[in-house]
Structure 1
Amino acid sequence: GVRMGIVSGKGLADLIREKVGIKITFLMMIALLAANMGNILAEFSGIAVSSGIFGVPKFIALPVAALFVWLLVVKGNYKSVEKVFLMASALYLTYIVAGYLSQPNWALAIHNSIIPQITPSTAYITMIIGLVGTTIAPWMMFYIQSSVVEKGISLKNLKYSKLDAVFGAIVVNVVAFFIVIACAATIHANGIQVNNVADVSKALVPLAGQYASILFAFGFLNASLFAASILPLSTAYYVCESLGFEAGVSKGFREAPIFHGLYLGLILLAVIVIMIPNAPLLTILYLSQVANGLLLPFLLILMLLIINDRKIMGDYVNSKLFNYVAGATVIIVMSLSILLIVTLILPSL
């Protein structure tokens, strides 16, 4: 994504439209928009739940968060927005501390990380697809490419942007590892039933201590607020790019009215839905990530077609090794989707 953005000077949705035409691009954008709306709802539900842990009701927390998220883009330029995102990213370290405070059995954790317990059931496969969908989410591909284009990064700085992307991928997985550790060592080990993130935070108090509980809740609030900023932004980017409208944080409302209007509309819609009493927040969060995982292989195939097109990339096409690794990734993700369909069909036969 970084390489395509810097070499072509275009966003991913723009390149997909040029590669496969407006009809296929439009259908794909509709599917991605639906999945992204679910993701945005999930993030605002995260704000509602985590702020509730600190005693702030959602009818106060959600409008304040929405205003912050909107002002961040409307009143800032890309440099200022990126600084806020970097600050938010640094706060993810609280999850690492929470994981350490949970006092896990490190030998067991490492063993089960290397040799997982695989269960060939519909629930297990669906969860795996959800985990893939939240780790390699389609919206990330669009955002990272649009961001390097807007920053105007030159080819001479390509190696630094690639390093940035690789470092980010490592950090996010380290953080995810400690989230799993914190929950597995306390909640799972003690057989505690949880229905939402508030239950997770509360359950950590007697098992890992007050500080672990507070840090976990704070980390979740930060993660939700961070993603609630970036997800509508990514969505606005790729919708505008795919339809040929002006897009960019550094552009004003008059320069990019569709971009800013869509960004605001997605935020307001999410707040309204999450305000509905007894909205199935955990179900929304879970299913939106599964949708990401199901859509991912189609997007990766299009990215591979573009990155190997010398008319677009010149000498910056993939190496054979890169194609093997990327191809294997597509096959694995597609296999999971096929397995899910098979497990859903078999019981009815």
Structure 2
Amino acid sequence: MSFRTNRAAPTNASSAALDTAHVGDIVGALGTIRQHDTGSRRTFWQRLRTLLVIMGPGLVVMVGDNDAGGVATYTQAGQNYGMGLVWTLALLIPVLYVNQEMVVRLGAVSGVGHARLIFQRFGRFWGAFSVADLFVVNALTIVTEFIGVSMALEFLGLSKYVAVPLAAVLLFGMVAMGSFRRWERFLFVLISLNILVIPMALLAGPKAGEIAKGFVPSFPGGLNSTLLLLIVAIVGTTVAPWQLFFQQSNVVDKRITPRWIRYERVDLWLGIGIVMIGAVCLMAAAAFGLAPDLLGNFTDNAGVATGLEQHSGRAVGVIFAIILLDASLIGANAVGLATTYTLGDVFKKRHSLHWKVRQAPMFYVGYALLLGVAASIVLIPGAPLGLITQGVQALAGVLLPSATVFLVLLCNDRAVLGPWVNSVRQNVVAGVIVWSLVLLSLALTAATFFPDLDISALKIGFGVGAAIGVLGGVAVWLLRRAAVRRETAATARALGGLDPEEVEDLAEDAVEALSRKERRALLWQDRMAWRTPALDTLDRPAFSPLRKAGLLTLRGYLVIAVVLVAVKVTQLALAVN
């Protein structure tokens, strides 16, 4: 069945949904699910057909992750360190899933974008705190996408002064059609080209033993600021802040509701699988497909394409250029939309791919301006394109902890998510992720300030940092436990002065009386009945002085870290020259 109108049903006055186009039928590239569809999916084929319709946000955000910057970062790792950094990708799999699954829940349950939730729940100051960096890094990231376009098409024989404007026009044309379905089909065609990474890697002559060794954590050549910068860049390109904003908004724009969250989680896993295979293949192509004299001397994607052609044959170089072009187009599309979705959230303007240009002019004008400015920068003669790309990925890595902190806060906001809030286990995993990213950023800072710092000192620093993280986690657990006890005491008083321990015992007895299957069924019923109320009707959560101090400290440190990344990139640029 096809979708017959661009206008969605009006939003309910009690709903948090902001744009009327965000309510209605799910219109995917491969089918339609009606808004009020409550039919059961009992057979494998019924579930598969449903997955094919829901599929999209997870695939696009993950494959968009392997953009031009990702291609550059992974091939740099392969060219300079062989397969020695593959282990970083394995460690990032849970980070990818945990972060993106949280925004899936936020989008499906609330019906609004990530920036909208932050502004509404925490106020303008903290909203600006969270999105200011996003706009800067996203704009720079789109520059790297057009760098990828220019390098790919110049290798294939087309001048960048023709290639870059053509790519910008193509990207705008595919978004400005006013059809979510056609846009998603266009992206699916681009995503399907990722299969080329496999023959490219195989033609480079990989060695299975060396790839396997790469999954064992090691620091090739010793842990120093240059290696740390690359590791931070791998983190930044694999788990970028724009992904949080894009996937939540795209889930909302596709009109995915809590009923379909399970399918969207599968979509996310499919995307993670594709991005990991692609990253390993890109590392392998550079590690095994380049001449020995090029190993350890990464310059940019253009140098990789030329080196593959010279050492492994024209076919490998051409495949790499096609992959780079494809990755750049997907990345520019996704990052541009992440930015304009966020602009719509902040200024409360229409921001949906279901609208025509005349119906949502700010959404499409913002997207066009982003593409135009980024394309113009790439056409400036003599710009250090390779170092710009690496620097942007590193910036994304150091800014990720800030984005993740707000994500965790929102996923513990019971007024927004109700029964969909994070479990204790999810909070523990999220806390470990955030603190690990902070420690990695601190290590980069230390290695930049003290270039002669040896690996033993950095190991001690990681150990001390891990201990502080454990102690901090215990402190948070104790504070949460105390808060639960206060709530229990209030409940006991409301029930006529019962002893708080009696209330806890009664609650535990009631839960234990149910089987695990019954408890899950009740939770699912609660979740299916819950949607975020209109945000204006909710009281904002109070920030304790300790939480404010922590966030401000994090902000101050991130400013310093950004400056240090810029310093390190400048040092590398001067060394190259």
TM class by shorter-chain length? over 0.9
Q: In the alignment, is residue 292 of structure 1 matched against residue 396 of structure 2?
A: yes
2:228 to 125, 141, 151: 125
Offset at residue 289 of structure 1 (A) = 0.8
Listed one character per residue, the Cα deviations across residues 218-255 of structure 1 (whole Å, up to 9, x for unaligned) are 10111111112221111111122123222111123343
Match of 2:413 among 309, 319, 322: 309
Letter in 2 for 1:142: F
Partner of 1:322: 426
5+ residue gaps, structure 1, are none
Structure with more contact order per residue of length (Cα contacts < 8 Å, sep ≥ 6): 1
Q: Which residue of 2 aligns with 1:162?
A: 265
User: Are residue 42 (structure 1) and residue 144 (structure 2) matched?
Assistant: yes
Instruction: Tell me if structure 2 keeps the 8 A contact 1:88–1:226.
Output: yes
The alpha carbon displacement at 1:348 in A equals 9.8
- Report the Cα offset of residue 313 of structure 1: 0.7
**1:18 and 2:131 matched:** no
Conserved 8 A contact 1:39-1:288: yes
More helix by share: 1
Counterpart in the other structure of 1:335: 439
CA contact (8 A) 1:130 1:287 kept: yes
Higher deviation after alignment, 54-63 or 24-33: 24-33
Q: Over aligned residue pairs, what C-alpha RMSD do you find?
A: 1.7
SS of 1:322 mapped into structure 2 = helix
Give the Cα–Cα distance (whole angstroms) in 2 for the partners of residues 28 and 258 of structure 1. Answer: 21
Question: Is the CA contact (8 Å cut-off) linking 1:29 and 1:239 kept in structure 2?
Answer: no
Gaps of 5+ in 2: 1-102, 454-577
**Aligned-residue identity in percent:** 29
Tell me the distance in 2 between the aligned counterparts of 1:188 and 1:164: 38
Count of residue correspondences: 349
What does 1:216-295 align with in structure 2 at a 5 Å threshold? 216-295=320-399
C-alpha contact 1:126 1:290 (8 A) present in aligned 2: yes
Are the counterparts in 1 of residues 142 and 336 from structure 2 also a CA contact under 8 Å? yes
Residues 294 and 307 of structure 2 are in contact (CA less than 8 Å); yes or no, is this contact kept in structure 1?
A: no
2:202 to 100, 109, 131: 100
Pairwise CA distance, 1:189: 4.9
2:239 is matched with which residue: 112, 122, 136?
A: 136
Q: CA deviation at 1:25?
A: 1.3
Instruction: Give the letter aligned to residue 284 of structure 1.
Output: I
Q: Secondary structure at the match of 1:240?
A: helix
Q: Secondary structure at the match of 1:195?
A: coil
SS at match of 1:252: coil
Once the two structures are superposed, residues 304-325 of structure 1 have per-residue CA deviations (whole angstroms, 9 ceiling, x without a partner) of: 1111111111111122222222
Residues 246, 259 of structure 1: 8 Å contact kept = yes
1:201 aligns with 2:305: yes
Q: Any conservation in 2 of the 1:5–1:145 contact (CA below 8 Å)? A: yes
Equivalent residues of 1:140, 1:234 under 8 A apart? yes
Tell whether the 8 Å contact from 2:224 to 2:451 is kept in structure 1 after alignment: no
Query: Aligned partner of 2:336: which letter?
Result: P
The separation in 2 between residues aligned to 1:278 and 1:178, in whole angstroms, is 30
User: Aligned partners of 1:210, 1:347: CA distance in 2, in Å?
Assistant: 40
Task: For residue 98 of structure 1, report the CA deviation from its aligned partner.
Answer: 0.7
Residues 44-99 of structure 1, C-alpha deviations (whole Å, 9 max, x = no match): 01000100011000111111111100111111411111111112111111112111
Partner amino acid, structure 1, of 2:235? V
TM-score if structure 1 supplies the norm length?
Answer: 0.95
> What's the TM-score once normalised by structure 2's chain length?
0.59
